Amino acid sequence: MKIQLSDHFTYSRLFRFTLPSIAMMLVTSVYSIVDGIFISNVEGDVALAAVNIVYPLPMVVGAFGFMLGTGGSAKVAQVMGAGEAERAKEYFTTLILTILAGGIAISAFCIAFMRPLCGMLGADGTMIKDCVTYGTIMVGGSFAFMLQTSFQSFCVVAERPKMGLWLSLAAGGTNMILDYLFIAQFRWGVAGAALATVCGYLVGGVIPLVYFLLPNSSPLRLVKTHLYPKMLGKACTNGSSELMTNVSASLITVLYNRTLMDMVGSQGVAAYTAMMYVQFIFVAVLIGFSMGSAPIFSYQYGAGNEEELRSLFSKCLRVILVQSVVMTVSAILLAGPLSRIFVGYDAELLRLTMDGFRIFAVSFLFCGMNIFGSAFFTALGDGGVSAAISFLRTLLFQAGAILLLPRLWGVDGIWWATALAEGLSLIVTVWFFFRKRSRYHYA
């Protein structure tokens, strides 16, 4: 039976509705780390470090797609909940056109200044060529990446979460097959990895664009529209937490890379890169659940159904708590096998990665509630609170921890930085839950 946003959500229905989003994020994470596996095992740790040095740049560019996709989808879902179906379609169309035009413009600017940007990110003489090559191709395909990430949110709002999953499977399959061909067979190195990733983005971004252009049975379709500047401004404000999360994560990655280069060298950056790839898998479950449940909150809030809001909120908190514990225990137990996939060819690098990841895994105990809290307040249209959680979690607390802890505990202090930042952020998130409950009536 088809599940609609207007339904009452039991645990079973909640799991069924969010499962495609969780699976979609897992698939996206898996095909993202395939690049790292091939690059590390075929090209070596220096090439792996080079990819991580420049990776923040396409993530910053793509963050604008996250911002408009998540902030805009919440607005579209609220309008749908209020019964304004045609207005929802017009908003949806305006958002997609803005994402497409903005992605092309930002990408062109970054490509024109790629070499100096790579230097600013910390690329040295041994890495600069690979950084420029990888960065140019990845940023060139950012418009497709922005479309793909925004459609992941809009497919859920359109009550087509399984469509988002199938698109992710198709994009991931394309990327992984081309990774094998371009890197392992053709030996195109980091250029091959970037080309494979962009081809996956095109599959995930262009196919849903065509779907929503054609007549379909979902509540959303691309139609003739207007600019709607106030709506775009609200979407940007509401999605600012997602922009902040991605920009902050990119800046923190640069700070991690520079600190590790000073303390350990390229092997430290390679170890951190392997941890980030593995982190994608574990955090994907938490992000997928939060992203999948967010449109339900938006719809019910727009419909004024406070009883369903309260029921859904309490269920989601329990699910997140269980997920966080399971993720943490699993990550600690699997630190060895997962690290070996990336850097098993070097015993010293493997030991560094395994030891670091066991410490780093403690952060999964706290990050689930922070991820959910940010997505939850975005869904309610409170972009300010969502942005505050993201800013503190991904930038302020992280930067302070990275600058302080290595001075006290050496390299181990770098790995503890994320756990400390997430723990402090959890206090803030819980405070906001209590502070805002009387305004939104979810508890």
Query: Tens digits of per-residue pLDDT, 89-98?
Result: 999 999 999 9
Using a 10 angstrom Cβ sphere, with 0-12 exposed, 13-18 middle and 19 or more buried, the burial of residue 121 is: buried
Whether 30 and 172 have beta carbons less than 8 Å apart is answered as yes
**pLDDT value, residue 59:** 83
Report the distance separating Cα 427 and Cα 144, nearest Å: 37
Query: Among residues 33, 14, 29, which one has the least CA distance to residue 274?
Result: 33
CA distance 371 to 162: 22
CA angle 395, 398, 402 (to 5 degrees): 130
Name the residue among 49, 62, 245 with its Cα closest to residue 140: 62
Q: What is the pLDDT of residue 1?
A: 56
- What is the rounded CA–CA span in Å between residue 366 and residue 359? 13
**Cβ(391)–Cβ(399) under 8 Å?**
no
| Domain layout of the chain by residue ranges | 11-440
**Encoding tokens for residue 434?**
């209590």
CA 353/CA 154 separation, integer angstroms: 37
Q: What per-residue confidence (pLDDT) applies to 374?
A: 92
Q: List Cα–Cα distances, 430 to 258, 311, 423, 427, in angstroms.
A: 33, 18, 11, 5
Radius of gyration over every alpha carbon of the chain, rounded to an integer in angstroms? 21
Q: How many residues does the chain have?
A: 443
Residues of the chain below pLDDT 50: none
Tokens of 332: 């600690």
Cβ-based burial of 123 (10 A; exposed 0-12, middle 13-18, buried ≥19): buried
